[in-house]
Amino acid sequence: MSDIDVPEDHPRYESLLTRHRIEDGVEKGITSRQGLIAQGRGEAFDYLLGERTIPSADAAERAAAAQLLLADHAVLSVNGNVAALVPGELVELAEETGAELEVNLFNRTDERMQAIVDHLREHGADEVKGLAADGRIPNLSHERAKVDSDGIGDADVVLVPLEDGDRAEALAAMGKVEIVVDLNPMSRSAQSADVPIVDNIVRAVPNVTRHARELADASREELQGIVDEFDREAALAAAERAIREGVGRDE
């Protein structure tokens, strides 16, 4: 990471650090320039949420952990923003849940694909999928539809953080259990998810891992119970409410 000069006592330290990581990602050829815009959009929602994990997001993160542990074949999809923000944390989550990692880009270029695969390996990943690109998500244009047929193509559960709405909808239409991380509860991605996590990716991924560790010895019945109990509509409504309250909050 490049020199980051953020005073630790700054009230928005975490948020500024996150910005630097995204900037760094762009410099390293990992994150697209559009990724900077996406981050800004996310920050606006996070600011309104109070830059914290709200209780409904924590419940979603627990349900996500249970889904990943129940899966026959879980894949964590990695794009340029996620790779810049939480590379090591994603590797840990994959290890904890037995999921695979697959690089899957909206603005796909061979250079960026390779840079992200290398970046994840530097952060401890053994195998990273995405380069074979021998499968397709139906009903999407060519470049955006590419996946590995033995990765996302074959998965029963996929984690798609900060996903473009079209692709999130197309993946959901393939019948996969879709876990989305998106700070905007009104986005099509969050709306199409079985488990919408309305939280910042920098808090969400470590928290899913923490839940997965706690649930490591749970029975399949217990895990299924957590999944069944999770109410996606209620979680989306709670997040929207928290954001509306954030608009009226004095600071």
Q: Which is nearer to ligand PTJ, 61 or 70 (CB)?
A: 61
34 binds ligand PTJ (CB under 6 A): yes
Q: Which of 21, 25, 28, 32 binds ligand PTJ (CB under 6 A)?
A: 32
Q: Is 184 annotated as a binding residue?
A: yes
196 binds ligand PTJ (CB under 6 A): no
Choose the binding region for ligand PTJ from 1-9, 41-49, 66-74, 219-227 (rule: CB under 6 A).
Answer: 41-49
Q: Which of 183, 208, 236, 239 binds ligand PTJ (CB under 6 A)?
A: 183
Where is 103: in which H helix or E strand? strand 100-103
Amino acid at 124: G
56 binds ligand PTJ (CB under 6 A): no
**Per the structure block, which two tokens stand in for 122?**
């530097």
79 binds ligand PTJ (CB under 6 A): yes
Where is 201: in which H helix or E strand? helix 201-214
Distance of alpha carbon 250 from alpha carbon 50, whole angstroms: 11
38 binds ligand PTJ (CB under 6 A): yes
The dihedral formed by the CA atoms of 114, 149, 169 and 220, expressed in degrees to the nearest 10: -110
Q: Which of 99, 57, 65 is nearest to 227 (CA)?
A: 65
87 binds ligand PTJ (CB under 6 A): no
Q: Is 104 annotated as a binding residue?
A: no
Minimum distance from residue 188 beta carbon to ligand PTJ (Å) = 9
- Is the Cβ–Cβ distance between 179 and 67 less than 8 Å? yes
Extract the runs of DSSP E, i.e. beta strands, from the chain.
Answer: 74-78, 100-103, 128-129, 135-136, 146-147, 157-161, 177-181, 195-197
Which CA distances in Å does 243 have to 52, 200, 251?
12, 13, 14
Minimum distance from residue 228 beta carbon to ligand PTJ (Å) = 26
Q: Which is nearer to ligand PTJ, 70 or 167 (CB)?
A: 167
89 binds ligand PTJ (CB under 6 A): no
| DSSP SS3 for 237 | helix
Distance of alpha carbon 26 from alpha carbon 34, whole angstroms: 10
Q: Which of 67, 187, 191, 192 binds ligand PTJ (CB under 6 A)?
A: 187
Question: What is the CB-side half-sphere exposure of residue 110 using CA atoms within 13 A?
Answer: 1
Q: Which of 39, 53, 191, 192 binds ligand PTJ (CB under 6 A)?
A: 39
Size of the site for ligand PTJ (CB under 6 A): 24
Footprint of ligand PTJ on this chain (CB under 6 A)?
32, 34-35, 38-39, 41-42, 45, 79-81, 105-107, 162-164, 181-184, 187, 200-201
| Residues tagged in the binding site annotation for ATP | 19, 41, 182-184, 188-189, 200-201
